[in-house]
Structure 1
Amino acid sequence: MQLHDHKPNVDDVEIAKFSELAHKWWDKESEFKPLHEINPLRLGYIEEYAPLAGLNVIDVGCGGGILAESMAERGATVTGIDLAEKSLKVAKLHLLESGNKVGYRCVAVEQMAEEAPATFDVVTCMEMLEHVPSPDSVVAACARLVKPGGWVFFSTISRNPKAYVHAILGAEYILGLLPRGTHEYARFLKPSELSRMTRHAGLELANVRGMGYNLVTKAYSLTDTTDVNYLIACQRPLA
């Protein structure tokens, strides 16, 4: 049975959430402000392992294109995929303003992995896994998309009381950094769980780093603490 015969790995409620906010993707003072603020950290983390100039990259769950465009600015050939059509329309429109080049498609990562296995030097999947019913399916598809020797990067939120307080109570209800209902605690993934998914997908874990937010300076930074937001770097073995 082909993957596209299966029930799509998508939550319509999650798609609706982001579709409703789609027009705000590039407003740096909107609900997407945190994504704009952590983007330099994500970009720098990726380039620690895979300097992007000249590489073929796919951004899975690209949304309005914040990370995709920044990788294109670094000289990568970038494809962005998402299942929220309104977000993709905003992403395409923003290219007219920025002049960057990104190829956007409304396609599931599992289908993309069927169409283009072992095609990309770098696969990024940021702030997406906590919004899908089967994150392990996304991880496996990302592993199929990357070339042997290539890199796969994930970022998501850990599942523990501190993460609940910071990512939901704090960010959504107290500070108003994110719309209420953005996250569902049960879908958060512990680093150990995501690491296990990457191993099962045939990837080798290279690094795990946390992303912290300072309430005083209102700045984000990479940390060694992975109990709230964190990044993972993985590599597909050459053989």
Structure 2
Amino acid sequence: MSTATNVDPQELAKFSDLAHKWWDPESEFKPLHQINPLRLDWIDQLANVKGKRVVDVGCGGGILAESMARRGANVLGIDLADKPLKVAQLHAMEAGVANLDYRSVAVEELAAEQAGQFDVVTCMEMMEHVPDPSSVVQACANLVKPGGWVFFSTINRNPKSFLFAIVGAEYVLKLLPKGTHEYGRFIRPAELARWIREAHLDLNQFKGMEYNPLTGRYWLSGDTSVNYLVACRKPLQA
């Protein structure tokens, strides 16, 4: 799929409409604020981001990108939704966070321009919003240096994930705006693993992310049945 077509205008509009709320921890983005320390610590534990060149693909309003920059990484956040990018830029400027840049560019385009230039690539909660997620995986693999890390997170596709991620999160608990997710775009771990292998990355680990609605607590586990994260590396020798 060409760079220009691997984007869904409705998905961009959905997140652009809410852009002004991105950094409000009590807004529709509350779950992102709550899970960010978990995913940041997990990424940092494996890849040690300090001093590394990092690209955050589908960075939105910059919650993860800015937190990695605060840990000493040199971060580029990319997204095709202009309003969230402007929010991200403004927040970084107001907070005085250095070593952080943002660009409106497709991941495939950046990969053609800067192949093998990044130590770490993160792509969180983004693949279930594009028409061709396998193209994103390949582009992320192209961006990372040999020996570098690539991290993905997405949502499994099964009856439990429909119940938890759509019915529960969007309609019952109202953790997310209705229509945030489309069940048919959820990605099974086996599908993502195949795209990772096809992109010549080595799978390092899968982690599940769980949530207790009674306590409001999130934690990482071995249960990948709903939300899950994947760590992979590019081999030193092709």
| Range into which the TM-score falls when normalised by the shorter chain | over 0.9
* 2:45 is equivalent to residue 48 of structure 1: yes
- CA-to-partner distance for each residue in 1:85-112, whole Å, 9 max, x for gaps? 0010000110122111311000000000
C-alpha deviation, 1:37, in angstroms: 0.3
- Which residues of 2 match residues 149-228 of structure 1 at below 5 A? 149-228=147-226
C-alpha deviation, 1:49, in angstroms: 1.2
Q: Which segments of 5 or more consecutive residues in structure 2 lack a partner in the other structure?
A: none
What root-mean-square deviation, in Å, do the aligned CA atoms of Structure 1 and Structure 2 show?
0.9
Residues of 2 paired with 1:95 and 1:215: CA distance? 31
* 2:10 is equivalent to residue 8 of structure 1: no
Residues of 2 paired with 1:77 and 1:51: CA distance? 12
Q: Which segments of 5 or more consecutive residues in structure 1 lack a partner in the other structure?
A: none
Residues of 2 paired with 1:181 and 1:215: CA distance? 20
- TM (normalized to structure 1)? 0.97
- Secondary structure in structure 1 of the residue aligned to 2:5: coil
C-alpha deviation, 1:143, in angstroms: 0.1
- Report the number of matched residues: 236
- Secondary structure in structure 2 of the residue aligned to 1:54: coil
- Where do 4+ consecutive residues of structure 1 move more than 6 Å? none
C-alpha deviation, 1:47, in angstroms: 1.4
2:24 to 23, 27, 33: 27
- Which residues of 2 match residues 47-126 of structure 1 at below 5 A? 47-101=44-98, 102-126=100-124
- Secondary structure in structure 1 of the residue aligned to 2:165: helix
C-alpha deviation, 1:48, in angstroms: 2.1
Residues of 1 paired with 2:4 and 2:204: CA distance? 32
- Secondary structure in structure 2 of the residue aligned to 1:64: coil
- CA-to-partner distance for each residue in 1:67-124, whole Å, 9 max, x for gaps? 0000000000000000000010000110122111311000000000000000000000
Q: 1:93 corresponds to which letter in structure 2? A: L
Q: 2:158 corresponds to which letter in structure 1? A: N
- TM (normalized to structure 2)? 0.98
Q: 1:42 corresponds to which letter in structure 2? A: R
- CA-to-partner distance for each residue in 1:146-205, whole Å, 9 max, x for gaps? 000000000000000000000000000000000000000000001111011100001000
- Identity rate, percent: 64
Q: 1:95 corresponds to which letter in structure 2? A: A
